Amino acid sequence: MNLYDVILSRRSIRQFKADSLAREALVRIVEAGRLAPSAANLQPLEFMIVDDRDICPKFFPCLKWAAYIAPQGNPRPGQEPAAYVVVLVNTAVREKMFEYDVGAAVENMILTALADGIGSCWLISIDREKAAQILGVPEGFRIDSVLALGRPAESPVVEELKDSAKYWKDDEGRLHVPKRPLARVLHLNKF
């Protein structure tokens, strides 16, 4: 699959197969994030892979999932992520305006994961204090976001946005994600 096809097929995954992920695949995902653009090349981001079978179940409750469809959007028991990449900001390097770096790094990681058949969900609703305690995050580092990873156990579909941007599940439990059509967001030469 070429990069454009990977981008077009990307969807947030919230139901995962019980398969574990190879550490090498997780390191490759982080490497893609590490090499993303960084404002002024300051590189304030660091990354923590969480894949330990004892830590993952303790970390999972720190995360909040699909608010529009909670609790149906939460991973069901046995369909939790196999691993996580925690995106950390080293505040000694940069205390603010790191969000662009995070966006570029996480999108690189999402696309790299998907190219390897790994689904992901980017989470920003996190109990950061509890998560930092569980993971031993030292002072001077801020948990920005978490990328949940695993083999997809669902296949969300895109549909044209009509009345609402809220995603929803149909009677079969399939997630539908409304997106604005290209004709409504693309402007050529003038607005």
147 and 176 housed in the same domain = no
163 and 98 housed in the same domain = no
124 and 169 housed in the same domain = no
Tokens of 154: 């669902």
132 and 45 housed in the same domain = yes
What's the whole-model pTM score? 0.94
Calculate ∠ Cα 171-68-82, nearest 5°: 80
Q: What is the 3-state composition of the chain as percent helix, strand, coil, each rounded to the nearest 5?
A: 30, 25, 45
Whole-number Å distance between alpha carbons of 143 and 156:
28
Spatial contact of 92 and 140, defined as CB atoms under 8 Å apart: yes
Provide the domain limits for residue 189. 156-191
- In percent, the amount of the chain with pLDDT more than 70 equals 100
Give the CATH number, domain containing residue 161.
2.20.180.10
> How large is the C-alpha radius of gyration of the chain?
17
pLDDT, one tens digit per residue, over 23-71 is 999 999 999 999 999 999 999 999 999 999 999 999 999 999 988 888 8
